Structure 1
Amino acid sequence: MTEPPEPSAPLHDAAVVDSLGADLRTAGYTTDGVTGLLGADADAAFARGVWWPALRATDRAPRDREALAVMVRLFLLGADEPRARVHTAFPGAGVDALVANGVLATTAAGTLRAALDIRPHGDGQRDFVVVSDLDSALRDGAVRRDHVLGIGGASISLARAVVRDPVGRALDLGTGCGIQALHLDAHCTDIVATDTNERALALAAATARLNGMSWDLRCGSLFEPVAGERFDLIVSNPPFVVGAGARDYIYRDSGVVGDGLCANLIGQVGAHLEPGGTAHIMANWIVREGDDWRERVSGWLAHTGLHAWVVQRELADPVSYVSLWTSDAGEPPEQAARRGGEWLDWFAAERIAAIGMGMITLRAPRADDQRPPEHILEEITAADEALTGPEVAAFFARREYLYRTTDEHLLAARLSTAPVFLEEQSLPGPDGWQVVGAAVRRPGGPGAVLGVDEVSRALLAGCRGEVPLGTLIELLAAHHAVDAGALATAALPVIREAIGRGIVYQAD
């Protein structure tokens, strides 16, 4: 695959970046600004992939929003715009400078179109601008080999799952356009961002400058650029795609066979975490015929010395997996069919039945944490159970609490049940509906569901932070005419699991 010649990196002129940023701010090119221009209905349709209402709305933009309309049409809708309109929208940067810096391109008809994806992005508190390459929907043919991904589902999932406690040093390994570093800036003093792709580093630098940030950008693979250094927080959305080891596209292909890149990353991360530090890593893993995915990932974790929470969010069959990544690259049908066929043949030869996709969160023990490394691997696929930073932080806090709290102390503790739903499954019988199963669920909590019987549901209902757990168990034992000690022995594992899932917590 050959690439067109590129005399210099995109947005190589800092003065042009600054002028571009000023033009974007003046026009109100923010998430709220775009929504206000398009209107709620057209904006919602655009989010679903229906573009014509947005084009219609920008065509009818009032004069005082014409610059914003041009920006939306160029960068979000992929439209060609007359040079005069673009000149009016970017009076500071200037059309010629934007073309020279790879932001815009001149068409054969003399109009201008976007050569980069520049889009607003918000975290609920602040507005950002993110620079990346145009995805396959806004360009002709396949993406470049050194294509730089923009804001995608995986990057958003990772950003939501990161624990946002203030820390000193953070590492964004495989930064791409810089979306993770962008979110790290609010709570990390120093940020190092690495990538093997020089074009990605150039666009990440532009993203940082447009948002008034400064990151230490370094080129290299895995932890090579930070050899001997440690961090309080590491985040990584690496090129994790499982394949035969080719490197057709840098953003997805590591050049390492199978899931070897993720295995190597997990094996090395502990040497770069400070005590008490956390790593959040998006990963894919091979699931061979007859194997349990947990066994493979557990092998990666075995000698790390780290606590781990691994959540498999999806399990894709080979055809779905290959189709996802071939369509993502925008290759012509014949090329995609050839490459996809070779990919599937490799999967078949390797006996790969599926590919697991999810999040691996790692925690380095503190000096006072003498627990043996604990590895929790589970499948959580519901859309409303996505990982969030607060949930991840609470998960590790609960695991430590359970280790430090003996059964004796737990029986003496006053416990409260979190806001939960009791869900029952019933079947019709001769006496009407008969309950055949029940569970309590904490809404929004990933994996926060616990099966209950008559006694445990009564026990959870009684946890109101008023009396010790042991007293509740004694009252239940008396009510059911059973031995209190035996009931405690049976109830404590249930209570511990409920605490681990955030369903019950110590009230004091």
Structure 2
Amino acid sequence: MTATSTLPHRLRDALLAAGFTYDAVADLLGGTAHAALARNQTAPGLARTTDGSPLATLTRLFLLQTAVTRAEAEAALPDLVDRLAVEGFLESSVGEVRARLDCRPYAAPDAAGDHDLWVASDLTPGLDGLPNRVSADHVLGISSASTSLAQLTRRDDVVSALDLGTGCGVQALHLATHAARVVATDVNARALRLARFNAALNDLTGIEVRDGSYFEPVRDEQFDLIATNPPFVISPGTGERLVYRDSGLPGDRVVEDIVRTAPRHLTPGGWCQVLANWVITKGTPWDERLAGWLGPTDEGIVSDAFVVQREVLDPAAYVELWLADEGATGTPEYLRRYDTWLSWFADQGIEGVGFGWINLRRRPDGAAGDATVRLEEWPYEVEQPIAGAIGAWGDAVDDLAALDDEALLDSRLRVRSDVRQESFGQPGAADPEAIVLRQQRGFRRGHAADTVTAGLVGASDGDLTVGQILDALGQLLDQDAAELRRTYVPVVRGLVADGFLEV
């Protein structure tokens, strides 16, 4: 398949004519069938797509991976069936047509709202629980991991962006909506071809796809934004290496190498955002281990870092997840692979695998203060996309670095508009037993507040300084104002860092 031919544009025209968009497919399937398809179950969807319309035909062909008649395929893809068969998209016989590659609609949000994209990739393995082993050069399509990274990645307008390990190019398509220039790299030749095809299919001309491992194709370049979902699966390397998920490096070395190398490829103030797995070893806290990756580079480049562990899987659950991912469930070698993988984990002293986000920001030139490194476990529900909250954390780091304690006391802060106060206690009691400040957006954090903290936050509307509010609370509560200032300046810093108060 060639991105420079007319095929991508002709296919795009056919998909548009059929109304083959994410919202249209969701409406066609309905809630039950759409949810079932997300679980790799096709029966409800097959029952909803029997009217023979081009939309139903494309949904059956690509998403449900079932055969359609030659006449239905020709109606949905006029004058394209034979060409798509030659290019490896379709398999055509006398009376019916089947998909050999996936091509599905995708809704990509940007500042103007959602807009429609299409993504070509290899077929989803394991539909309806059937064993379906993937090849070593399998090109993954839209997945929960790619969606998670898309929701994590900041969407500020930038000059340059890098999609490291692009696969079929999902992140590059997102980046092209807000970056003037996008470079996408990969070592999988099939992935590179599909990434180029997808850029052309979506008429995005600012994407340059390069062949090479990790940062090699951009050795001397810097970017304002790097987004990467690297092949982070932690495995013994005894089976066939799947390029889209297996790095060939031991343990979580690939993630460590990216974290240590990325700052060299960032412009001052630039961000690198990584979706990753990491090893949790016996006797070593996860955050202590990852903190060792986050120091200055050999060149002295310093970065702020915000690392969030979202989930921890025990070894058995982790092995089951990735054996199912490759379509090994139900195959003769499943139990042998399972036992080998578990035994390797035990030999390595691995007691769990963490999953989460690593956000690095190269310190801007002349930035005040030292680098800020925050590692936390946050398995709770968050607002999606979470990118805005990551950006707000960076803004808070800058604001706090520029303010010593006296300057902070002289600042006029504002409570974030989504913060609500929750009070707990016996019905009819004069005073609550507990007060919690709760965010409705972003990380949706809660903060247990005493009377002074609740009063300070409630009065932070931008009119009075922090010092003036604390002095007034001291008079109201008959407490020493100077002592309140000493005690609550660190509390105020924490409230700004956590996003309850804004400078």
TM-score, normalised to structure 2, is 0.92
User: 8 Å contact 1:175–1:195 — kept in the other structure?
Assistant: yes
Q: What is the number of equivalent residue pairs in this alignment?
A: 489
In 2 relative to 1, CA 425–241 (structure 1 residues): closer, same or farther, beyond 3 Å?
farther
What one-letter code is carried by the residue in structure 2 that aligns with 1:464?
Answer: D
Q: Which residue of 1 aligns with 2:116?
A: 127
Classify the secondary structure of the residue corresponding to 1:98: helix
In 2 relative to 1, CA 417–13 (structure 1 residues): closer, same or farther, beyond 3 Å?
closer
The answer to whether structure 1 residue 420 and structure 2 residue 419 are counterparts is yes
What one-letter code is carried by the residue in structure 2 that aligns with 1:262?
Answer: V
Classify the secondary structure of the residue corresponding to 1:489: helix
In 2 relative to 1, CA 437–335 (structure 1 residues): closer, same or farther, beyond 3 Å?
farther
Q: Which residue of 2 aligns with 1:290?
A: 283
User: 8 Å contact 1:244–1:256 — kept in the other structure?
Assistant: no
**Matches for 1:238-387 after TM superposition, within 5 Å:** 238-246=230-238, 248-304=241-297, 305-331=302-328, 332-385=330-383
String of CA shifts for 1:349-402, please: whole Å, max 9, x gaps. Answer: 111111111111111112121432211111111123556222111110101101
User: 8 Å contact 2:388–2:442 — kept in the other structure?
Assistant: no
Q: Which residue of 1 aligns with 2:471?
A: 474
Q: Which residue of 1 aligns with 2:449?
A: 452
Residue among 393, 404, 423 paired with 2:402 = 404
**Matches for 1:15-54 after TM superposition, within 5 Å:** 15-39=6-30, 42-43=33-34, 46-47=37-38, 51-54=42-45
Q: Which residue of 2 aligns with 1:167?
A: 158
Q: Which residue of 2 aligns with 1:483?
A: 480
Q: Distance in 1 between matches of 2:72 and 2:268?
A: 55
What one-letter code is carried by the residue in structure 2 that aligns with 1:422?
Answer: Q
Residue among 93, 111, 117 paired with 2:96 = 111
Residue among 204, 221, 236 paired with 2:228 = 236
Q: Distance in 2 between matches of 1:387 and 1:221?
A: 29
String of CA shifts for 1:168-226, please: whole Å, max 9, x gaps. Answer: 11110000110000011111111110011111111111111100013211111111111
Q: Which residue of 1 aligns with 2:69?
A: 82
What one-letter code is carried by the residue in structure 2 that aligns with 1:120?
Answer: P
Q: Distance in 2 between matches of 1:223 and 1:334?
A: 38
User: 8 Å contact 2:368–2:402 — kept in the other structure?
Assistant: no
In 2 relative to 1, CA 186–296 (structure 1 residues): closer, same or farther, beyond 3 Å?
same
Classify the secondary structure of the residue corresponding to 2:141: coil
What one-letter code is carried by the residue in structure 2 that aligns with 1:76?
Answer: L
What one-letter code is carried by the residue in structure 2 that aligns with 1:105?
Answer: E
In 2 relative to 1, CA 266–245 (structure 1 residues): closer, same or farther, beyond 3 Å?
farther
Deviation at 1:165, TM superposition (A): 1.2
Q: Distance in 1 between matches of 2:314 and 2:4?
A: 45
Classify the secondary structure of the residue corresponding to 1:313: strand
Residue among 126, 135, 148 paired with 1:144 = 135
In 2 relative to 1, CA 426–255 (structure 1 residues): closer, same or farther, beyond 3 Å?
farther
Residue among 168, 173, 195 paired with 2:186 = 195
User: 8 Å contact 1:11–1:102 — kept in the other structure?
Assistant: no
Q: Distance in 2 between matches of 1:87 and 1:496?
A: 64
User: 8 Å contact 1:449–1:501 — kept in the other structure?
Assistant: no
Classify the secondary structure of the residue corresponding to 1:360: strand
Deviation at 1:433, TM superposition (A): 11
Classify the secondary structure of the residue corresponding to 2:126: helix
Q: Percent identity?
A: 38
Q: Distance in 2 between matches of 1:198 and 1:299?
A: 34
User: 8 Å contact 1:22–1:92 — kept in the other structure?
Assistant: no
String of CA shifts for 1:227-261, please: whole Å, max 9, x gaps. Answer: 11111111101001112345621111000000000
Deviation at 1:299, TM superposition (A): 0.6
What one-letter code is carried by the residue in structure 2 that aligns with 1:217?
Answer: V
Classify the secondary structure of the residue corresponding to 1:280: strand
Q: Distance in 1 between matches of 2:277 and 2:439?
A: 28
In 2 relative to 1, CA 168–13 (structure 1 residues): closer, same or farther, beyond 3 Å?
closer
Which deviates the most, 240-249 or 182-191? 240-249
String of CA shifts for 1:3-28, please: whole Å, max 9, x gaps. Answer: xxxxxxx5677233332222112211
Unaligned runs of 5+ in 2: none
What one-letter code is carried by the residue in structure 2 that aligns with 1:500?
Answer: A
Which deviates the most, 178-187 or 296-305? 296-305
Q: Which residue of 2 aligns with 1:219?
A: 211
What one-letter code is carried by the residue in structure 2 that aligns with 1:318?
Answer: P
Q: Which residue of 2 aligns with 1:185?
A: 176
In 2 relative to 1, CA 102–301 (structure 1 residues): closer, same or farther, beyond 3 Å?
same
In 2 relative to 1, CA 253–434 (structure 1 residues): closer, same or farther, beyond 3 Å?
farther
Unaligned runs of 5+ in 1: 1-9
User: 8 Å contact 2:103–2:121 — kept in the other structure?
Assistant: yes
Q: Distance in 2 between matches of 1:123 and 1:273?
A: 25
User: 8 Å contact 1:135–1:143 — kept in the other structure?
Assistant: no
Q: Distance in 1 between matches of 2:55 and 2:39?
A: 21
Q: Distance in 1 between matches of 2:309 and 2:63?
A: 32
Which deviates the most, 324-333 or 385-394? 385-394
User: 8 Å contact 1:275–1:367 — kept in the other structure?
Assistant: yes
What one-letter code is carried by the residue in structure 2 that aligns with 1:181?
Answer: A
